[in-house]
Every structure is written in C-alpha cells, then in structure tokens.
Structure 1
C-alpha cells in the first residue's frame, strides 16, 4: 500500500517509520533540506524535498492510497493546499493533530504575531522570539535592539534576520528543541522580559519554555492555535495499520 505523508515534524517522522515497518511504501514530503535531514533514511521510505504548489502535490499524490497531513500545527496555509491537492488527486486526506497544551496561568494569549507585536510595542524590555523567521516582519514596529530571534542555523534564516535589521549579536542560531536549563540560560544571558512563542506541544519543547519563563520572571506571549479537525497520532497509526492489513482505501 502506498501512503504519502507531509512531514517535517516529529510525528510525521515517527509515523513514517512505523508504517514502513508494517510494509507500506511511504512517500514523505518535506519543505526544506533541514526537514529531510531530520527525517533521515529508512528502507521503504522515499523522501521528497522542496515546497510545492497544489498541482505539483496532486501529481505526486496520484496513485497513493492515503495522504496524512502531519505538518506543524500552525502551518494552516500548507494544510489547506494539501487538502486541495488530495481532492484534485482523488486521494483520502487525514490530518494528524498534535495535542494542544493546557492554558498557561501566567501568560498573554494573542491571535497572531501582529497582535503580539501590538501588545509588546508599548512595553519595555527585551523579547525572545521563538516563532520562526516567517513572522519576523510582523515585529517591524519594535526597536531592533529589543528583538532576540532564535532561529534554525540555516543561511536563509540569517538572511531574513539581516534583511529585517536584527543586530548580529542578537541572533540566536540554534537547533532545538531545548531543555529548560538552556532556555533559562538564554533568558538570563540576554536579559529577556518577554517570550513570544507558539504552542508547539511537548514535541516542540513548549513545556520547557514555559518552565524557564516562570523561573526567570519572563512573561510568555503565546500565539493561539487556530481550531482544526483531525486525529491523534495513535488514531492515525491505528487507521493506517488497519488499512494495510485489509488492503482498504
């Protein structure tokens, strides 16, 4: 049975490994070379790298028995494109949802990065940005010296930081997820007062960020997730295993 997985996440990687062990022919699609490196290699898994439009996705999906969207919980545009490609290719679509974290008691929740910037623009103190470079332009109204973006150590990310006028000594280029101790050390080192973050769940090191913020007196500013419908990792895995056994789809 052929199964396509749009990955780049911990869940997508683990799901691909489990399904390959079950005998499925798995195609994993990731957006970046970093995603491909994290995915790794395994017999029974083909990895395709690079961002694709709906038509290109549909062409790849043709002949697949099932498509699992295991992209990041905040990648709503990508999920919409994947759904459209599945409809075009006539392939069943399943959304794998990462479990949402409980509401933090001491935090500010906002709709998106622009709302976070509006909240922070009238407040003093350094800001640790852990939302990625895609949202960095939304903080254009805030003094560059206050912004400390933590980004993956990739040339394109450094280029975005430079184009946005971030001082080089403010850029934290590291690969996570990070333990509580390292988060805490970074917050203390750069005299951070606010943490801007997404709810990346346990797989994204979200609990460790919140614990570090609590211990250092940093106020988390959390971008809310948009409501989605889907299934848990366990539900998707069980569905795929049953389909492989029965030869369904």
Structure 2
C-alpha cells in the first residue's frame, strides 16, 4: 500500500514510525520545510517532498506516485493544508484520514486572553504592553529595570503579525532550530540575542526559566494541544503572574464529513482495514 502522510508535526513522525511495521507499505511524506522533511525521513518515510503543495500539486503527486491513502497529520493551525488535502483526495478518489490533535481546556483565569486570530492576538499584546509600560513609567528605578519583552511562542510563521505592531527589539521568539526559522527572524528585524532556537516540547519549569531570563511581560502562544506544550506554557506564565494571549484553533468545516481521529492507534487501525 502506498500512503501519503502530510507531515511536519511530531504526531506525523509517530505515525510514520508506526507505519514502518506495516508490510508492503511505502510512505511518501510531505512537509513545508526542509527541517520537517529531515524528521519525516528519519522516522522512516520512503520519500519526502519538502514544500507546500496546492490542490493541483497534491492531485498530481497522488497520480504520479500511485497513492492509495492520504493521511493528514498537519498542524491544527494548518487549515488551508487540510482543506487542500480533502479536496485533492476527493478529486483523486482515494481515502482521506485526518489525525486531529486533541484540544486541551484552557485555564479559567483573568490573565488568559483567548483570541481567534493572530491579528487580534498582536493587538491584544500591544494593549497589554501599553498597560505594563504605564505601570512602570515614572519609577525611580526605571533605568535599572530591564526592558520587558514579549515572548512569542506561536511559531515563526506567525511572527510577522507581532512585528507589525511591536518593535522587534522588544520581542523574544522561540523557534525550532532550522535555517528557515532563523532567517525568518532576521528578516523581521530580530537579532540573535532575542532568538531562542530549541526543539520542544518543553516542561513548565523550563518555560518559567525562559520567561524569567528574558523578563517576559506578556506571552503569545496558540492552542496546539498537549503535544504542542500549550498548558506547560500557560501554567508557567500564570505561576509568574504573566498575562498570556492564546490564539484558539481555526475551524475547518470541510472536516465534518471526513474520518478524523484523535488517537494515532485509531488511524493505524483504520489503515489495517484497507
């Protein structure tokens, strides 16, 4: 069986690793970055395409590679990729399976600000920064207090929303350690001292240490589930009394009539039936 796994997440890596145990199975993985491609190949993908694919390109790949099943394990925020995968599967007449990372309930706390888009998130962060600045203005010790930073923990692809409203020197971004992510930060005006290149997921304790070290006054993140370390980020911020702006997941109406699973083993069980 020839399976296309739309990857780029730790969930996809787990799926690919488990698919290696299937007999007579070839795995083609697609990712949007070379870094994601390396992870997929290391997990056991037979071949890898490391670029974003539109509907027509997915259809063409399915035809050329004789793909029989498409497993969509893209990030919860990659809504367009999921829409493209569903459409391409329908056009090609092949089975589509979606792995949907389970959501986590957010804490009911006044310091947690839920928003629906990254544009709204950037505006909320700016509002919080202004409030924080007013509280410190006029303080006799102001010159000795390090400049409060906005800690961006929402992926480099969303960073531009923040740099449009907040000076880059006041932003600290934690990113995956890839050339693409580093170059993107530099393009947006961040310097090396404000870039943390690390591969997660991270513990609450490590997140607390980062927030303290960089004098975070507000944290921006997204609801990317337990795998994405959502709660460990939020809990760390709340422990330190730091406001958190959380972007909630986009809805994908096209998924309503599709086979979607929140457990990797359920995806594998469905593939065993084919």
In the superposition, the TM-score normalised over structure 2's length comes to: 0.82
Look at both structures and tell me which one has the larger radius of gyration over its CA atoms: 2
- 1:117 maps to which residue? 122
- 2:150 maps to which residue? 127
Q: Structure 2 vs 1, CA of residues 42 and 99 (structure 1 numbering), >3 Å: closer, same or farther?
A: closer
The offset of 1:36, in angstroms, is 2.1
Moved more, 18-27 or 62-71: 18-27
Moved more, 79-88 or 5-14: 79-88
Checking the alignment, whether the CA contact within 8 Å between 1:193 and 1:217 is kept in structure 2 is no
SS in 1 for 2:20: helix
Q: For 2:78 and 2:181, how far apart are their aligned partners in 1? A: 18
Moved more, 35-44 or 95-104: 35-44
Matched, 1:36 2:37: yes
- 1:179 maps to which residue? 203
* 1:6-52 alpha-carbon deviations (Å, 9 max, x no partner): 01112212222222212122222222221122224366733332222
What residue ranges of structure 2 are gaps of 5+ in the alignment? 130-147
* 1:82-117 alpha-carbon deviations (Å, 9 max, x no partner): 222222322222221000011222211001111011
The offset of 1:155, in angstroms, is 2.5
What residue ranges of structure 1 are gaps of 5+ in the alignment? 244-249
Q: Structure 2 vs 1, CA of residues 46 and 126 (structure 1 numbering), >3 Å: closer, same or farther?
A: same
- 2:105 maps to which residue? 102
Q: For 2:13 and 2:211, how far apart are their aligned partners in 1? A: 30
- 1:86 maps to which residue? 89
Q: For 2:43 and 2:21, how far apart are their aligned partners in 1? A: 9
Q: Structure 2 vs 1, CA of residues 163 and 28 (structure 1 numbering), >3 Å: closer, same or farther?
A: closer
Checking the alignment, whether the CA contact within 8 Å between 2:106 and 2:231 is kept in structure 1 is no
Checking the alignment, whether the CA contact within 8 Å between 2:99 and 2:262 is kept in structure 1 is yes
SS in 2 for 1:28: strand
SS in 1 for 2:100: coil
Checking the alignment, whether the CA contact within 8 Å between 2:224 and 2:249 is kept in structure 1 is no
Checking the alignment, whether the CA contact within 8 Å between 2:16 and 2:43 is kept in structure 1 is no
Number of aligned pairs? 243
Q: For 2:186 and 2:29, how far apart are their aligned partners in 1? A: 32
The offset of 1:122, in angstroms, is 2.3
Q: For 2:167 and 2:242, how far apart are their aligned partners in 1? A: 19
Checking the alignment, whether the CA contact within 8 Å between 1:19 and 1:240 is kept in structure 2 is no
Q: Structure 2 vs 1, CA of residues 191 and 235 (structure 1 numbering), >3 Å: closer, same or farther?
A: same
Q: For 1:44 and 1:132, how far apart are their aligned partners in 2? A: 24
Q: Structure 2 vs 1, CA of residues 21 and 79 (structure 1 numbering), >3 Å: closer, same or farther?
A: same
Moved more, 231-240 or 180-189: 231-240
- 1:219 maps to which residue? 243
SS in 2 for 1:193: strand
Q: Structure 2 vs 1, CA of residues 172 and 41 (structure 1 numbering), >3 Å: closer, same or farther?
A: closer
Checking the alignment, whether the CA contact within 8 Å between 1:30 and 1:50 is kept in structure 2 is yes
Q: For 2:106 and 2:204, how far apart are their aligned partners in 1? A: 18
Q: For 1:121 and 1:93, how far apart are their aligned partners in 2? A: 41
